[in-house]
């Protein structure tokens, strides 16, 4: 059985899933200021009728997102994995958001966006291929005003674009529409806030590793070199 936990944003979510990804139980709480003691309480409820011994894998989001939230979730998941000797799978929040919005257009490029400091954003791009959501570019942090240029740099087909805006990036909606008037912008929190049930699904693609190898995802700015004008 898989235990998954997401604490990377204003919401947090827990799920128990069978190896075939049948969701046994999911808890989703959308609170602006949830605290670590609330996490402990909800975990106790999650395992009320399920012994920890049944868990064969722990999945946890590694970011990007809330600096504190990510570390709260990872600390709890890593401690649990260490004590009970359970393999872990660390998965990016961007991967989760892409998976949750993969059914909108099978031919589209999916671009989940998470707010960073000031006018910066975290993003990556994905395509649906052979029944899976596959990442087509690395994790990056860029200025929102350079989004068009950045997608040109990584050679993204901009005819079918789906932008999944994480809660705090909705403020950039008009700017994105101005750059991509034909793009589909998704702001519904049902799919723009990460769910532990989706995290459990993605974790089935990972063998799992030692808790020591699962760490927060640190994203560096991409190195974009402009060709000198002749």
Contact 21, 201 (CB under 8 A): yes
pTM of the model: 0.93
Contact 115, 166 (CB under 8 A): yes
Whether 223 shows a pLDDT value over 70: the answer reads no
* Per-residue model confidence (pLDDT) at position 108: 93
Contact 195, 4 (CB under 8 A): no
Q: How many residues does the chain have?
A: 230
Structure tokens at 211: 């808790």
pLDDT (tens digit, 9 = 90+) per residue, 131-184? Answer: 889 999 999 999 999 999 999 999 998 889 999 999 889 999 999 999 999 999
Query: What's the rounded Cα separation, in Å, for the pair 142 and 109?
Result: 18
Give the whole-number percent of the chain exceeding pLDDT 70: 95
Residue 64: helix, strand or coil by DSSP? coil
pLDDT (tens digit, 9 = 90+) per residue, 194-216? Answer: 999 999 999 999 999 999 999 99
Which residues does 34 contact at the CB level (< 8 Å), separation at least 6?
10, 11, 12
Calculate the average pLDDT of the chain: 92
* Per-residue model confidence (pLDDT) at position 230: 47
Alpha helices in the chain (DSSP H): 36-46, 67-84, 93-100, 147-153, 173-179, 189-192, 196-203
pLDDT (tens digit, 9 = 90+) per residue, 53-92? Answer: 999 999 999 999 999 999 999 999 999 999 999 999 999 9
Whether 224 shows a pLDDT value over 70: the answer reads no
Query: What's the rounded Cα separation, in Å, for the pair 41 and 31?
Result: 15
Domains assigned to the chain: 2-93+194-213 (3.30.420.40), 94-191 (3.30.420.40)
Start-to-end C-alpha separation, the chain:
60
């Amino acid at each position: 059985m898989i235990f998954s936990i997401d604490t990377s944003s204003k919401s947090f979510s827990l799920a128990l899933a069978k190896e075939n990804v049948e969701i046994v139980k999911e808890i989703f709480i959308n609170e602006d200021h949830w605290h670590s003691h609330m996490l402990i309480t909800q975990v106790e409820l999650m395992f009320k009728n399920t012994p920890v011994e049944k868990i064969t894998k722990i999945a946890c989001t590694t970011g990007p997102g809330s600096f504190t939230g990510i570390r709260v979730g990872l600390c709890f998941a890593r401690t649990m994995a260490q004590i009970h000797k359970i393999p872990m799978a660390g998965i990016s929040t961007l991967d989760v958001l892409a998976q949750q919005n993969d059914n909108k257009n099978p031919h589209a490029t999916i671009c989940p966006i998470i707010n960073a400091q000031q006018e910066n954003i975290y993003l990556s791009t994905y395509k649906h291929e052979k029944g899976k959501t596959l990442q087509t570019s690395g994790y990056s942090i860029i200025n929102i005003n350079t989004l068009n240029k950045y997608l040109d740099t990584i050679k993204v087909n901009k005819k079918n674009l789906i932008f999944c805006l994480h809660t705090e990036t909705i403020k950039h909606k008009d700017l994105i529409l101005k750059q991509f008037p034909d793009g589909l912008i998704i702001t519904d929190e049902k799919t723009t806030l990460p769910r532990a049930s989706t995290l459990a699904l993605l974790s089935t693609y990972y063998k799992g590793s030692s808790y020591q190898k699962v760490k927060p995802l640190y994203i560096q700015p991409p190195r974009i070199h402009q060709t000198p004008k002749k």
